[in-house]
């Protein structure tokens, strides 16, 4: 990993693994759904084991202005990682859905912003953060299903807008997000953990769904995520990449518009000049 400093008006996104991205936009740095533990499960020691380490070491990250936390499933909300970010890295704030605040405060964050769908607030360095709907669910035990809210985020500056989908099945929310925000420059969309479809379709997109979501959003560019990190479901660990190539061709979408990121490789984007 070689850290980058985006130019004015430029967005840089770096895929660390699963749904963990470093987003650099408008002078601010965000970390999405940070998971650095070896397992996606309780205490960071149970549950599915990583098939590859985080692509950017914690100590190599730049200063992080805020964590964006989509929901509380273990492959998205990792308590040991959050404690490290809050207490040792000194990340000043976290933004998440309703009901996740107590856990964030236990992790050590003082500034915790709990948001409902479509709630918006000022972010660091003049950004604006909006929590947007997703078709998913939440739970960390057998007894707390849907007790806290799940969703995605749109991060805006005057020059760019980045959408982080979190987890979602394919649904009408994508068209609504595209309608409300008009110009999504970069959409970070999940493509993995989708088999068997009879069970997973409502909660996780497959690559064909992700391409449909890209089109519904009207995104200038999309970037794949939620693949190649944890073996969560029945498809092969590399199957989502092959399936995405097929889906792009089948739906006549330019492959250059939907990137398969290298792990730890910063991708840069800039809105076209009017």
Query: 163-192: per-residue pLDDT in tens?
Result: 999 999 999 999 999 999 998 999 999 999
Please say if the pLDDT value at position 273 is more than 80: no
Cα-Cα-Cα-Cα dihedral of 166, 86, 156, 181, to 10°?
30
- Inter-CA distances, 145 with 69, 77, 88, 116, 150, Å: 17, 15, 31, 17, 11
The per-residue pLDDT for 274 is 53
| pLDDT per residue as tens digits for the range 74-85 | 999 999 999 999
Closest CA to 262 of 52, 9, 46: 52
CB 102 within 8 Å of CB 147: no
Mean pLDDT across the chain? 96
The per-residue pLDDT for 272 is 84
Neighbour-count burial of 74, counting CB atoms closer than 10 A to its CB (0-12 exposed, 13-18 middle, 19+ buried): buried
Please say if the pLDDT value at position 237 is more than 80: yes
3-state secondary structure of 119: coil
Please say if the pLDDT value at position 100 is more than 60: yes
Average of per-residue pLDDT across 132-147:
95
The model's pTM is 0.97
Kindly report the length of the chain: 274
- Measured between alpha carbons, how far is 1 from 219 in angstroms, rounded to an integer? 27
- Measured between alpha carbons, how far is 251 from 18 in angstroms, rounded to an integer? 25
CB 105 within 8 Å of CB 83: no
CB 9 within 8 Å of CB 264: no
Please say if the pLDDT value at position 195 is more than 90: yes
Q: Which residues pair with 270 in a beta bridge?
A: 10
Please say if the pLDDT value at position 156 is more than 80: yes
The per-residue pLDDT for 199 is 94
DSSP one-letter code for 182: S
Structure tokens at 184: 């999504």
Q: When comparing pLDDT for 39 and 4, which is higher?
A: 39
Residue with tokens 């982080």: 164
The per-residue pLDDT for 183 is 82
Average of per-residue pLDDT across 224-229:
97
Of the CA atoms within 13 Å of residue 262, those in its CB half-sphere come to 7
- Measured between alpha carbons, how far is 191 from 74 in angstroms, rounded to an integer? 18
| pLDDT per residue as tens digits for the range 15-52 | 999 999 999 999 999 999 999 999 999 988 899 999 99
């Amino acid at each position: 990993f070689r850290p980058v400093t985006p130019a004015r008006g430029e967005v840089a996104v770096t895929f660390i693994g699963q749904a963990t991205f470093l987003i650099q936009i408008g002078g601010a740095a965000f970390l999405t759904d940070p998971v650095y533990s070896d397992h996606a499960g309780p205490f960071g020691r149970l549950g599915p084991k990583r098939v590859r380490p985080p692509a950017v070491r914690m100590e190599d990250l730049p200063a992080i202005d805020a964590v964006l936390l989509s929901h509380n499933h273990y492959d998205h909300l990792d308590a040991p990682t959050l404690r490290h970010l809050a207490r040792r890295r000194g990340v000043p704030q976290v933004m998440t859905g309703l009901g996740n605040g107590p856990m964030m405060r236990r992790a050590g964050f003082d500034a915790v912003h709990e948001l409902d769908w479509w709630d918006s607030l000022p972010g660091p360095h003049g950004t604006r953060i909006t929590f947007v709907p997703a078709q998913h669910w939440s739970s960390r035990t057998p007894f707390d299903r849907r007790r806290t809210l799940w969703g995605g985020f749109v991060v805006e500056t005057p020059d760019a807008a980045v959408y982080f989908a979190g987890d979602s099945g394919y649904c009408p929310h994508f068209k609504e997000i595209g309608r409300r925000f008009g110009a999504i420059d970069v959409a970070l969309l999940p493509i993995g953990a989708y088999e068997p479809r009879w069970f997973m379709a409502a909660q996780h997109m497959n690559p064909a769904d992700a391409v449909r979501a890209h089109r519904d959003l009207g995104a200038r560019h999309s970037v794949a995520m939620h693949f190649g990190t944890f073996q969560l479901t029945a498809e092969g660990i590399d199957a989502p990449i092959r399936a995405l190539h097929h889906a792009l061709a089948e739906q006549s979408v330019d492959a250059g518009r939907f990137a398969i990121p290298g792990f730890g490789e910063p991708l840069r984007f800039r809105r076209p000049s009017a």
